[in-house]
């Protein structure tokens, strides 16, 4: 693993993951080591991106951090995850609940299955508010959070149901729900992958604005390098359960060290640049 990290005097990390490993059962007595050995840090107010292809283990890593791995005794987690110094691996269910309802907000890929189809938007946002740290739990506060997340006609939306909204709006509702907790960290797992390109940018901008205004940290997972470019301070590149490179966004883009990172960048450039022939990474040939 090659690293371009600056080591200057840093405040205590919000999330400090050391040597994390996650083994998952995949059916009849077979297991896969989804995460082999991952170490990463997220500092307060920072935006960190995790980039990698499908199967690289980025989702599993982030679910381990949020405590959302499948509840099965066959799942093995090794290593350490510290939230503000507090060890989370092996923590009690109540500790995890506290973390998940008040300190970490999660945004997942498919907004429709993460919203209750039979509950109004207003009520769902308000419930998140009531479980969170905010003192104001009124519907007005819910509307303010929705506006913060980029939903301009919040008053109209509170009485509506998820199926009445477009994909981009639903994702912004998920952002609002995550923000309503007043979390210290927002974890977004491919939040815009399911959306059209133009909507993607708008939703990302909403996410950007709200994270800036609240000063929350952001851990963003995506396979799309362009998304990471505009939004993240630091980037980790994952491949097959390990981090192969890390550094600031500029370093990764202009001075990639690891072969996989270079390959990734080259594939993306060949795809978007018409003058180049389409490049297929050798990492993909297996």
Partner 1 sequence: MAIRTRAKSRTESGQAALRTPVQQFLRLPSTAFFLALIVLMAAFCFIGPLFSASPTDTSFDVLKAPDATNLAGTDSLGRDLLSRMMVGGQISLFVGLAVGFICMTLAVIIGGLAGFYGGVVDTLLTKVAEFFQVIPPIILALVSIAMLGASLPIIITILSITMWPQVARIVRAECMRVRELGFVESSRAAGFRPLRILWSDVLPNAFAPVLVATTMTVGRAILLESGLAFLGLGDANTPSWGALLNGAQAYMQTAWWLTLFPGVAIFVIVLAANMLGDRLNDSLNPALSRVK
Buried-exposed string 258-281: b where 16+ CB fall within 10 A, e elsewhere: bebbebbbebeebeeeeeeeeeee
Which position has the token pair 């109209």? 156
- Coil vs helix vs strand at 272: helix
- Coil vs helix vs strand at 127: helix
Q: Which of 1, 26, 74, 112 touches partner 1 (CB under 8 A)? A: 112
d(C-alpha 8, C-alpha 25), whole Å: 40
Q: Which of 6, 119, 152, 262 touches partner 1 (CB under 8 A)? A: 119
Token pair recorded at residue 46 = 């920072």
Instruction: Give 80 or 120: the residue with its C-beta nearer to partner 1.
Output: 120
Is 35 a binding residue for partner 1 by CB under 8 A? The answer is no
Query: For the window 161-180, what string marks contact with partner 1 as x by the rule CB under 8 A?
Result: x-xx-xx-------------
CB of 113 to partner 1, least distance (A): 4
Instruction: Give 47 or 63: the residue with its C-beta nearer to partner 1.
Output: 63
Query: For the window 129-168, what string marks contact with partner 1 as x by the rule CB under 8 A?
Result: --x---------------------x--x---xx-xx-xx-
Query: For the window 43-82, what string marks contact with partner 1 as x by the rule CB under 8 A?
Result: -----------------------xxx--------------
Instruction: Give 108 or 239: the residue with its C-beta nearer to partner 1.
Output: 108
Q: Which of 27, 90, 117, 215 touches partner 1 (CB under 8 A)? A: 117
Buried-exposed string 106-133: b where 16+ CB fall within 10 A, e elsewhere: bbbbebeebbeeeebbbebbbbbbeebe
154 φ/ψ angles, rounded to the nearest 5 degrees: -60, -40
Using CA atoms, how far residue 9 sits from 12, 47, 50, 76, in Å, is 10, 18, 23, 34
Interface residues with partner 1 (CB under 8 A) are: 66-68, 96-97, 100-101, 106, 108, 110, 112-119, 128, 131, 153, 156, 160-161, 163-164, 166-167
């Amino acid at each position: 693993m090659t690293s371009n990290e600056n080591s200057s005097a840093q405040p205590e990390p919000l999330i400090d993951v050391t040597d994390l490993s996650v083994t998952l059962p995949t059916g009849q007595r077979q297991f896969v080591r989804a995460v082999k050995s991952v170490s990463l840090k997220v500092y307060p107010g920072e935006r960190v991106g995790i980039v990698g292809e499908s199967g690289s283990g980025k989702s599993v890593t982030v679910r381990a951090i949020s405590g959302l791995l499948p509840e099965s005794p066959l799942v093995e987690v090794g290593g350490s995850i510290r939230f503000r110094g507090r060890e989370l691996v092996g923590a009690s269910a109540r500790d995890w609940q506290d973390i998940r309802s008040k300190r970490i907000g999660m945004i997942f890929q498919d907004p429709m299955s993460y919203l209750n189809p039979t509950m109004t938007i207003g009520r769902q946002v308000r419930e998140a508010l009531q479980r969170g740290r905010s003192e104001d739990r009124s519907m007005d506060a819910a509307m303010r959070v929705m506006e913060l997340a980029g939903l301009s006609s919040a008053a109209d939306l509170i009485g509506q149901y998820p199926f009445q909204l477009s994909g981009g709006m639903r994702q912004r509702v998920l952002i609002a729900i995550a923000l309503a907790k007043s979390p210290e960290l927002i974890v977004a797992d491919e939040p815009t992958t399911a959306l059209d390109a133009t909507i993607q940018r708008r939703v990302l901008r909403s996410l950007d604005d709200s994270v800036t205004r609240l000063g929350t940290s952001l851990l963003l997972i995506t396979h799309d390098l362009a998304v990471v470019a505009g939004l993240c301070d630091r980037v980790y590149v994952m491949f097959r359960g390990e981090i192969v490179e890390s550094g600031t966004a500029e370093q990764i883009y202009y001075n990639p060290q690891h072969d996989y990172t270079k390959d990734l960048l080259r594939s993306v450039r060949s795809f978007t640049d018409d003058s180049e022939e389409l490049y297929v990474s050798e990492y993909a040939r297996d």
